[in-house]
Amino acid sequence: MMWLPANVSPWEWEQVRARVIAAAQACAICGRELFPDAPPRSRWSTSVDHKVPRAVFAGMDLQTQRQLTLDPQNLQAVHARCNSRKGKRSMRQSVPRPQSQKW
Ligand SMILES: [Zn+2]
């Protein structure tokens, strides 16, 4: 994965990710059940979300990035669709809407 901090190997992340998904009962965002058999990358597939998002910790020192990337306390299993909605929502919050322009 491209976004992993330099001191986290994809292998390490994959292990933690699999553990979080295996332990999860329900989507942390919508509360509905997870579907382990959903096709990968489909809307109902399971993805692992960082509560403190990478956008926030990307600028911190590598040790902190590693900690937040792999800390189960910072991870939650969610539906891919819920995760992308959350992402869009926080984007809207952080980026001011462009004012409508008069031409
Ligand atoms: Zn969900």
Task: Report yes or no on 33 lying in a domain.
Answer: yes
Q: How many domains does the chain have?
A: 1
Beta strands 75-79 and 46-50: pairing type?
antiparallel
Task: Report yes or no on 61 lying in a domain.
Answer: yes
pLDDT of 2 over the 80 cut: no
The CA-based diameter of the chain, rounded to the nearest angstrom, is: 54
First to last CA, the chain: 43
Task: Report yes or no on 55 lying in a domain.
Answer: yes
Task: Report yes or no on 97 lying in a domain.
Answer: no
Ligand 1 centroid – CA 27 distance (Å): 5
pLDDT in tens, 54-102: 899 999 999 999 999 999 999 999 999 999 887 665 554 544 555 666 5
Write out the H or E segment, with its range, that includes residue 77: strand 75-79
Residue-level pLDDT at 101? 60
pLDDT in tens, 26-52: 999 999 999 988 998 899 999 999 999
What pTM value is reported for the model? Answer: 0.76
Task: Report yes or no on 67 lying in a domain.
Answer: yes
Task: Report yes or no on 102 lying in a domain.
Answer: no
Residue 65 structural domain: 10-91
Ligand 1 centroid – CA 103 distance (Å): 41
